[in-house]
Structure 1
Amino acid sequence: MSCIAEIGIAAIADWTVGAIGRHLGYIFQYKSNISDLQTETHNLGLEEQKMKELVDDALTNGDAIFETTKNWQKDAEMISKQAKEILKDENRANTGWCIFRGLLLLNLVPRYRLSTKAKKMGVSVVKIKGEVNFENISHRPHLQSDFMNEDYINFDSRNEIVDGILEALEDGNTRIIGVHGMPGAGKTTLVKEVSRRALEMKLFSEAVLVPVSNTPDIGKIQKAIAERLELKLDKETTPERALLLRNKLQQEKKFLIILDDVWKKLNIRDVGTVFKGDQIGCKILFTSRFERVLPTDIGVDKIFKVGLLEKAEALNWFSSMVAQMIEKYSECADLVHDIADECGRLPITVETIACAVKDQRRHFWQDVLNQLKNSNLRDINREVNEKVFNSIELCYNYVYNNEAKLLLLVCSSFGEDESIRIEELIRYGMGWGIFEKMHNVQGARVKVNSLIDDLKDRALLLDGDDHHIVKMHDIIRDVAISVVVLRPL
């Protein structure tokens, strides 16, 4: 009777002639409704699993998932959960036979209720399955350049320059800015800090830093800028690519291009880095070791010089890097001031010498000090300070392992600012017989990584973009090449 009452109430609510028949149908179609829901729920689970695998692959490849995909996954998970709950209820409910007034009858109430739920939920399951789209679930996100700059030290002498450059970047009348200083003064580190702060201050929506060096490759420069702009350079010739780049750049409102370590004239029109007159938010920042290049060959609007550190800054920095060693071996404490002074307040020299002595005893420190004072200094070229060359060469000379020295020279054969893959070093090392008594790749891999760690500790090699890559500072590379020329192997 209670089942008939439920059906009657539902029919009255529907206000249709066929309502009673439809609701009675839920009882007679109980098994098929439950079976259909089981089938559709199973199929939805397969769709969910397929979508999850596609999403996982997309995330592994660095893609961003569309919100429509995320919403489908969320809705599908909710509907699947609700459907499974109904099916669980079906297993728990007494839908079999019951005794009513001495008669054996089907238990119609739970059958009616579950069949009704199963039918409606089946519609929802079919609907969410129909909305799935496996073809377009993700996209390649635009990732802003990361200028996290752990190498930058907050020296007053450097912060003053950074503040000045930032002020020039905000000036609508200044379009091209130059930064110059001797090799190893920290120009690249400084402009990275400028970029980090400029992006943080929202002066630019994006920035890109491109190494140029003494042998500029226009194609590589164009490619690096185009990649940051997500522009496909599908033309063959340099002028055609320059035109594509120029047209794309003229759509930008706040874009910073840093062309790092320019040695000679670089025509920005040849590259394609030309902005329209009203693009006052777009700037180009050059760095060079040669002051004359910036106003004469480039035609910059403003120039900033990165000079030596203040004496106190150099001493404090050197002291901080060797502090743990001094705490362990106080016998070297009286040499800290003299060695720091002999480093000539050049950042790369201070860092390199500190790395060379920090784990050594007094006799080593004294020997380093003597060599800094008495060695015959040689030029790399007329623009390179002799003390820079001597300091870097000194660190090279104090690499005790001949295999490490040879590996450093191999690294110098790569291009300036080039990412050096460790696997390539392994192949070259084995091919040229650098590693003594080493005849298998696995052993060579262990050896190379050990040597690289030693060279990194001495600041002769730098971390790359990931753990499979190392880099070499351009000045250290110049010194290493000169070593090969002056002392052929």
Structure 2
Amino acid sequence: MAEFVAPCFKCVADPVKEYASPYFRFFFCYEKIVQDFTNQRNALKLRKQRVDTDVDEAKNQIEVIYEDVEDWLRRAKQELEETQNLQDEIDRVKYFKWCPKLGWRYGLSKKLAEKTPIISKLLETSDFAKEAIKAVNMIGLYGMPGVGKTTLAKEVGKHAREQKLFDKVVMFTMTQNPNIRTIQDEVAKMFGLNFHSNTEKGRAEELFRSMQGVKKILVIVDDLWEEFRLESIGIPFGDDHKGCKILLTTRHQQVCTKMNCQKEIQLGILTEDEAWVLFRDKAGLDDDCSSLNEVAKEVAGECKGLPLAIDTVAKALKGEDLDGWKAANQRFKDSRHLDNIEVLGGVLTALKLSYDYLKKGNNQMTENDIQLCFLLCSLFPEDAEIRIEIMIVCGIGVGLFPNASFIEDKRKEIGVALKKLQKSGLLLETDDAGTIRMHDVVRDFAHWLTSTGENRSMVKDKLKEWPNMVESFKGYTAIALWNCCSNIIFPDKVKFSELKTLFLHGEWKEEGDGLLVVSSTFFEKMEALQVLYLRRVKFSLKGFNWLLNLKTLWCEDCQLENFSSSLKNISLEILALIDTEIDKISEDLVNLKYLRLASRNRSSEFYFPPELVVSRYDINVGGQDFSFEEALTIRRLRIVNFSSSLSAFKNLFCNVGKLKLNNFGLKIIVSRIGKKVLNELTSPELNSCDDMEFLTDITRDQGLTVAFSDLEELTIRGMVSLKGLCYGLSPSHREIASFTGLKVVTIRSCPKLKTIFSPCLAKGILCIEELYIKDCDGLEQVIGFAQEEEITKNDSRLCSCPKLRILDIWQCKSLKYVCANTSTQGLQSLESVKIRDCPQLVQIFKMERNENGEDVVVPQLRYIFSPTTARSLSHLVDLFIDGCEEIEQLILANDQISSSSSSDVGHQPISFPNLTRITIRNCGNLKSLFPFGYVPALPKLECLEVQMNFKLEQVFKLDDEPKVVVEEEMKFDQLEKLSLEHLPSLIHFSPKGYHFVLPTLEALEVTFCPKLTTSFSIDSQEFVHCETKV
């Protein structure tokens, strides 16, 4: 029986056990199932967050995300969403602490047990995510000309910088004939690298090592024409630098393939709707169904969806009436045959229309000048940043804008023309305000225009030999030969009878001796030549006597022979010699209107004959060659680290307008240069002249008092030995004529300077408007009074600065007096006072007298203004005080001055009618800002910042606590920002008895003011109210 029962029991028990086992597990293992599910779900949630982060970082690093990763993220998200209800049920039971029914426990356990393995499987397969993110180090962007590749690449770079996706973002243009050294310089500048090697290979190695030290780099290579080894520039990527990503743009897809781009993106033309939206925006058209818009849509369609064409045409037609749009549309239809020219990608018609419209709005005399200016820009190399200064001198040389009589007027006209070309889309802006650029497609169009006709031109780059087709040169009016091989053998004579402009540019060679050699007779048959631009050329000027029409000669890095004796008969007006050695400047240059001379050679000798009078010049010796907006309009001399005699420049000092001296060896300027000089100087700038102690010597009256009489702006920086502006005392004890026109003074880092303006000088500085002083640790007085006490003791007339608007003094540790001898009536124009970190300050302006008629002078500054001074500051706009430790109040209270000085005027209310901003910081002893028996009128106050003044108790302090019957309401109608921060002693902002209303307040910051009793509230009109309860 047992043998039968046992097998039977087994047959029944096994199925029951198989069925009952999970049931009992769901019931009895509920807590463990819940815990397993919760742990696994939380792990999945965290893992998904990490994968999301990895994917985001990968996308920022331009890496490819495989579909497997995207699929895993979708499934993980789905599981987390589906199980959220289960997690909510678990949390609900825990929160309410109730015991669920057995059936509910079983059902929930079963659901959790089914989901847990699925979640576990997702966790197991998540490890593949990092391996499934493929590293991409190069992306290629290709498309036809004018489609917007460069614009898109720039936007990518801008976005990467703004979002800080990379540590460095670098962009450069390759062109068809890339200049490797120039590109290396551009990239090195971004990394702060100064090359030690002079060879391209050595520089590439230095750049390679420098870039490897930066973790994440984006390099944008624009306009690549063929396969190129970026390592030859010095750019590491791939295995050499996995954090360096390359984005390249090109016209040709095969370039992307040859460069092994992991991802290739084609940038196509715009759709019809996209093109119309862009066109309408550029042309300034309204979004309506007018007849004009219907015609404009047809014109937009003729642009073929190309952004470049849309931009130039829309800008050209902006502001036209309906007839103008119809005429333009017809011109498009009549010129469709031009679009067959393949090289311009179908944009020729659009560019031709924009070019023709340059004449519109100009008078008849100058209708072609803007077009000629455009063609002149096309002579420069592809994608070159064209210096505006060179464009101007060349434009003047070829006779642009002949109706402008003076060189300054011509410069302005050409500047306006360049701006108009930029607005028309035919020229592009660059990051440098002193340069412009021409799109390569627009340049191709310009060359198409000048391939025939009266303005025929030729532009060649990297010429290896002289063309054997001299006869074809006869019709050219402009020729530009760039980066010519130094081995070229130039002919002795070439008959270019119609040539007006010649650019001749030798290639740069690592050994530095590869100059183009041109014979002395090469230029003889160029009778019509007006502009000659030469760089890295060795030549003689013997044949220049035949160039009777030459107006502009620009020589850069050249070697000139027979310079002084070869310019007698020519009518040269503009001469620029940049790092070009000459024997002397000839007095035969009687027609010379502008001289531009720059030499980095600190030991060069120069001679300027006294007979040579140049109305405008810009001479830079020993420093870098800078361009400035005011070039051609001033007389400027800059000397840096110059070790030779000043005698060469003696004649220039008589009429120099702007003078800049860096690291110059003189102790006193005027005494070494001579008498009656620098009387036309307007803007001297002195930097790091370590030996200089004074600017002028006033111990003798003979002519020296006129020095600096036209001075308007004075800048002095880093003069470690400077003791004062003038040496000695005037023997006649009279006012000094020097500095009488001075308007702006900037003095910084002059540790030995104790007084800026002596009394003799101070009485003449009536025109001074702005005064900036910083980091002068030895400075004790700005306007002095102690040095000439015996001269001034009987002179009751005080100094006056009636035009002083801005007073800005920072970090002068020994400063005691600012305008101690200046009357309050003499400061009626003061708009801004900023004083910071002047711990020894005793007095700023002339104070009231005490009962004995003596000046009130305290050991260290306790207040900024007296009531009388404050009343005279009607123009004060900005008051900024920081780090004046001893100040107790800004304005002296009436009861603290003598009765003699506090007459009826002394009891008149004080107001600051133009004060808009008050900032008071780090004044450790400041107890109140405005200690009056009333609140001063501040009708224009926009910002009040009071911060880290640890003893400040009241902003507006009343002399006596009032017995409040009716609160006085006061409005601050313009106050937008109020900041009260770190004021541990502040009791109230608005005094008792006053109710402040702030209707325009936008920002209120009150932090760490534990004793503050003033309450702030907002009414239904959103006005802020301030009240301190009695």
**Shared fold per TM-score greater than 0.5:** yes
Q: Which has the higher strand share?
A: 2
Alpha carbons 1:325, 1:359 under 8 Å: kept: no
Q: 1:235 aligns with which of 192, 197, 200?
A: 197
Distance 1:464-1:194 versus aligned 2 partners, 3 A rule: closer
Larger Rg: 2
Q: Deviations over 1:179-232 (max 9, x none)?
A: 111111111111122122233444311101001111111111111111111112
Find the aligned partners of 1:380 and 1:237 in 2 and give their Cα distance: 45
Q: Any idea what SS the aligned residue of 1:169 has?
A: coil
1:419-462 deviation line (CA, Å, top 9, x unaligned): 22322222111111222233421110121122223222321122
Inter-partner Cα distance in structure 1 for 2:190 and 2:332: 44
Equivalent residue for 2:356, pick from 391, 397, 400: 397
- Are residues 1:169 and 2:169 paired? no
Cα distance in 2 for residues equivalent to 1:251 and 1:226: 13
Q: 1:240 to 1:382 in 2, by over 3 A?
A: farther
TM-aligned CA deviation for residue 302 of structure 1: 1.4
Distance 1:405 1:326, change over 3 A: farther
Return the match for 2:187 from 225, 245, 248: 225
Q: For residues 90-489 of structure 1, what are the structure 2 equivalents within 5 Å?
A: 169-171=62-64, 173-275=135-237, 277=239, 279-296=241-258, 298-324=259-285, 332-378=292-338, 382-385=342-345, 387-400=346-359, 401-489=367-455
Note if contact 1:325-1:358 (Cα within 8 Å) is conserved in structure 2.
no
For the aligned residue pairs, the C-alpha RMSD in angstroms reads: 2.6
* Conserved 8 A contact 2:312-2:425: yes
SS state at 2:257 partner: helix
**Alignment check: 8 A CA contact 1:210 1:221 kept:** yes
1:342-389 deviation digits (Å, cap 9, x = unpaired): 11111011111111111222222112212222314447974531x212
Compared with structure 1, are the counterparts of its residues 379 and 334 closer, same or farther at alpha carbon in structure 2 (3 Å cutoff)?
Answer: closer
1:168: how far off? 6.7
Deviations 1:94-137 (A, max 9, x none): xxxxxxxxxxxxxxxxxxxxxxxxxxxxxxxxxxxxxxxxxxxx
Structure 2 residue matching 1:252: 3-state secondary structure: coil
3-state SS of 1:479 partner: helix
Deviation digits for residues 35-84 of structure 1 (CA, Å, limit 9, x no counterpart): xxxxxxxxxxxxxxxxxxxxxxxxxxxxxxxxxxxxxxxxxxxxxxxxxx
CA distance change for structure 1 residues 196 and 437 in 2, over 3 Å: closer, same or farther?
closer
Spell out, residue by residue over 1:275-318, the C-alpha distance to the aligned partner (whole angstroms, 9 max, x if none).
Answer: 3627332111111112222212x222211111111211111121
Contact 1:464 1:470 in 2 (8 A): yes
Provide the rounded CA distance (Å) in 2 between the counterparts of 1:202 and 1:454: 35
Contact 1:380 1:478 in 2 (8 A): no
Question: In the alignment, is the contact (CA less than 8 A) between 1:183 and 1:289 conserved in 2?
Answer: yes
AA at the equivalent of 1:469: T
Measured in 2, the distance between the counterparts of 1:410 and 1:392 equals: 17
Cα separation, 2, equivalents of 1:240 and 1:352? 43
Q: Which runs of 5+ in 2 are unaligned?
A: 1-55, 65-133, 360-366, 456-1030
Q: What code does the residue aligned with 1:463 have?
A: E
Asked whether the equivalents of residues 326 and 332 of structure 1 are also in contact (C-alpha less than 8 Å), the reply is no
Distance 1:220 1:444 in 2: 32
How many Å apart are 1:166 and its aligned residue? 5.5
Q: In the alignment, is the contact (CA less than 8 A) between 1:170 and 1:203 conserved in 2? A: no
Closer/same/farther in 2, CA of residues 260 and 404 from structure 1, 3 Å limit = same
Question: 1:421 & 1:279 partners in 2: Cα distance?
Answer: 35
**Structure 2 CA distance, aligned partners of 1:237 and 1:352?**
42
Aligned CA distance change for structure 1 residues 409 and 166 (closer, same or farther; 3 Å) = farther
User: Residue 431 of structure 1 aligns to which amino acid in structure 2?
Assistant: G
- Between stretches 270-279 and 287-296, larger displacement belongs to 270-279
Write the distance in 1 (CA, Å) between the matches of 2:181 and 2:434: 25
1:433–1:199 Cα change, 3 Å:
closer
2:586 aligned residue: none
Larger relative helix fraction: 1
Tell me: CA distance 1:276–1:295, structure 2 relative to 1, closer, same or farther (3 Å): closer
Retained in 2: the 8 A contact 1:179–1:187? yes
- Match of 1:399, SS state, is helix
Contact map agreement 1:460 1:476 (CA 8 A) in 2: yes
Aligned equivalents of 1:184, 1:483: Cα separation in 2: 18
Distance in 1, matches of 2:433 and 2:219, equals 27
Q: TM-score, normalised by structure 2?
A: 0.30
C-alpha distance in 2 between matches for 1:343 and 1:397: 16
Check the 8 A contact 1:166/1:194 in 2, yes or no.
Answer: no
CA distance in 2 between counterparts of 1:266 and 1:486 reads 35
Deviation at 1:332, TM superposition (A): 1.9
User: Are the counterparts in 1 of residues 160 and 169 from structure 2 also a CA contact under 8 Å?
Assistant: no
Letter paired with 1:352: T
Larger relative contact order (Cα-Cα within 8 Å, sequence gap ≥ 6)? 1
Partner SS state of residue 412, structure 2: helix
Paired residue secondary structure (2:194) = coil
Instruction: Determine if contact 1:166/1:198 at 8 Å carries over to the other structure.
Output: no
In 2: Cα distance, 1:236 partner to 1:441 partner = 40
Q: Secondary structure, in 3 states, of the residue corresponding to 2:62?
A: helix
Contact 2:292 2:322 in 1 (8 A): yes
In 2: Cα distance, 1:451 partner to 1:258 partner: 31
Which ranges of structure 1 fall in alignment gaps of 5 or more residues?
A: 1-162
Residue of structure 1 equivalent to 2:458: none
SS of 1:292 mapped into structure 2: helix
CA distance in 1, matches of 2:336, 2:301: 18
Task: Tell me how far apart the structure 2 counterparts of residues 330 and 415 of structure 1 sit (CA, whole Å).
Answer: 44
Could you tell me whether the CA contact under 8 Å between 2:303 and 2:350 is conserved in 1?
Answer: yes
Change (3 A) 1:351 1:197: same
Q: Which residue of 2 aligns with 1:38?
A: none
- Mark the CA change 1:407 to 1:391 in structure 2 (over 3 Å): closer, same or farther: same
Does the C-alpha gap of structure 1 residues 381 and 243 become closer, same or farther in structure 2, counting only changes over 3 Å? farther
8 Å contact from structure 2 (residues 147, 269) kept in 1: yes
Contact 1:380 1:389 in 2 (8 A): no
Aligned partner letter, 2:305 = R
CA–CA distance in structure 2, aligned partners of residues 177 and 425 of structure 1 = 37
